[in-house]
Structure 1
Amino acid sequence: MDVFAVEGLPEVRPGDDVAGLIAGQTDLRDGDVVCVASTVVSKAAGRQADLADFPADERAERIAARIGEVTGEEKDPRFAQAVLEESEELLTESPFILAVTRFGHITVNAGIDRSNVPDADLLLLPEAPTAEAEAIRAGLRERTGGDVAVIVTDTSGRPFRLGQRGVALGWAGVAAARDWRGERDRDGRELGVTVQAVVDELAAAANLVTGEGDGGTPAAVVRGFEFGDHGERDALYRDPENDVVRQALREWSYVRD
């Protein structure tokens, strides 16, 4: 399997054709997986915003003040308001805001970015990353004739571990996970729980070559990946009612309040 960055992409602006930009900079083959950073997907969709667009309500003021008390760092209540408006639920309000986005992803500050946003204060996550992945995939097929998969990626922290890694927000043309349940190990024992989050692993591989900061390479191609003869699952996010971590966070937050 090869993984390489798509070089030479310009600064993406609202209204830009992400599929056209990628197709113009690389020769794609059937079976390739194109991983695209959510930042450029959001920029093309006009998801930039200014803090002035989010006048803070009483809850946002309270959240910002509480974070400031805990961390000693001032938090702009308008930023807290932006997180509230981009979230379905807050799991924690301090010492940081852990939010559930409207499409099910759980991340700090609802994934709102303040880096590499030249024309605004904030960059919001795509509203519907899987729909965006499907649109980019269709655009690539139209321009190249190739049958490729597309993953919209972001970087995210991990419970119990330091550092961030690439994760999938939306995907098209590839199942979210390999389902190994029912297969057998080398000793003949049947696997009962193993479901491999393939799209997250591909997103992490892509992040190794796209990098962070000022790299300017927001897309990568994974070539030679084979899903194999396994069961497929397209669910990536846990059912909220059966997610013990989410339930524990809710209880911890309630106790703290």
Structure 2
Amino acid sequence: MTLELFGLKKIPLVKKGDDIAKIIEDDLKEEDIQLENGDILLIAETLISKAEGNIIKMDDVEVSDKAIEIAEKCKKDPKIVETILQESNEIVAVGPNFIVTETKHGFVCANSGIDESNVEDGLATPMPENPDKSAKEIREYLEEKYQKEIAIIITDTQGRAFRVGAIGTAIGCSGINPLWVRIGDTDLYGRALETTEVATADELAAAASLLMGQADEGIPIVLIRGFDAFNILRDTETGIKPLLRPKEFDVFRK
């Protein structure tokens, strides 16, 4: 298998009300790229939040007593802490300069996914309200336009327990099942796999993140071509939920 990754270089700075699907269409045309069956487009979540107007003005944030208390522990700006609390279902842990929460979507991550990078001063972007819905709408538009079967994955950058450094992670998807259950397949010696499940959407997000970068690269959308398991995982109904470990099986929160 040979994977090809293309960073879309002509994506403009996005503002509220912009049509991401149309922006992708225009970029593909300008770069003379034709979508093919099995193509996967990975889109940085900040792009979706900005287009959907899901932006927080920090001057408008009213700080609660709880936010002030937590801010003293983690040494973060109380206003940022307040936005983190508002975007969370539960606080999992508080550490030096970070707060691990369960977001309203069910993701367990640092700072509820609040992002202060790649937006103007005084603003922050939470995760999109419904990344699966956003991914589906973009996929359906592009599939209708190009008459090809594709997938859309919305990505975020998150840290991992016990590992240093951030990595690209999938927070929404459409057109592909994010989890590849390999139970029953055989290894090189013919033994049946008993527990193997692959977080395919996360692996694709991590690959795309190498091109997206974390600073001023200006590549918020990456096209991945040549993923052989696309047809196996083709799924227009399932979103990101299969990747979320049920709380009762999360041994770190017991």
Structure 1 position 123, deviation (Å): 1.1
Q: Per the alignment, in what secondary structure is the counterpart of residue 128 of structure 2? A: coil
Structure 1 position 142, deviation (Å): 3.1
Q: Which amino acid aligns with 2:55?
A: Q
2 CA distance for matches of 1:55 and 1:123? 17
Preserved CA contact (<8 Å) 2:151 2:175: yes
Structure 1 position 120, deviation (Å): 4.3
**Equivalent residue number for residue 93 of structure 2:** 92
Preserved CA contact (<8 Å) 1:5 1:219: yes
Q: Which amino acid aligns with 1:123?
A: T
**Equivalent residue number for residue 35 of structure 2:** 28
1 CA distance for matches of 2:35 and 2:232? 25
**Equivalent residue number for residue 45 of structure 2:** 38
Where in structure 2 are the equivalents of 1:38-187 lying within 5 Å? 38-68=45-75, 75-95=76-96, 96-118=98-120, 120-187=122-189
Q: Per the alignment, in what secondary structure is the counterpart of residue 143 of structure 2? A: helix
Q: Which amino acid aligns with 1:92?
A: A
**Equivalent residue number for residue 253 of structure 1:** none
Structure 1 position 134, deviation (Å): 0.6
**Equivalent residue number for residue 10 of structure 2:** 8
2 CA distance for matches of 1:56 and 1:200? 34
Aligned-pair identity (%): 38
| Distance 1:10-1:229 versus aligned 2 partners, 3 A rule | closer
Q: Which amino acid aligns with 1:170?
A: G
Gapped regions of structure 1 (runs ≥ 5):
69-74, 248-257
**Equivalent residue number for residue 208 of structure 2:** 206
1 CA distance for matches of 2:246 and 2:161? 18
Q: Which moved more, 1:147-156 or 1:135-144?
A: 135-144
Q: Which amino acid aligns with 1:89?
A: E
Q: Which moved more, 1:27-36 or 1:229-238?
A: 229-238
Structure 1 position 186, deviation (Å): 2.0
1 CA distance for matches of 2:147 and 2:231? 25
Matched, 1:190 2:201: no
2 CA distance for matches of 1:153 and 1:144? 23
Q: Per the alignment, in what secondary structure is the counterpart of residue 243 of structure 2? A: coil
Q: Which moved more, 1:231-240 or 1:175-184?
A: 231-240
Tell me which stretches of 4 or more aligned residues in structure 1 moved more than 4 Å: 228-234
Q: Which amino acid aligns with 1:18?
A: I
* Cα distance per residue 1:158-189 (max 9 Å; x no partner): 11111111110000000111111111212222
Preserved CA contact (<8 Å) 1:90 1:98: yes
Gapped regions of structure 2 (runs ≥ 5):
29-33
Structure 1 position 80, deviation (Å): 0.7
2 CA distance for matches of 1:85 and 1:187? 51
Number of matched pairs = 241
Preserved CA contact (<8 Å) 1:17 1:44: yes
Q: Which amino acid aligns with 1:212?
A: Q
Preserved CA contact (<8 Å) 2:178 2:199: yes
Preserved CA contact (<8 Å) 1:35 1:206: yes
CA RMSD of aligned residues (A): 1.7
Q: Which amino acid aligns with 1:90?
A: I
Q: Which amino acid aligns with 1:31?
A: G
Q: Per the alignment, in what secondary structure is the counterpart of residue 25 of structure 1? A: helix
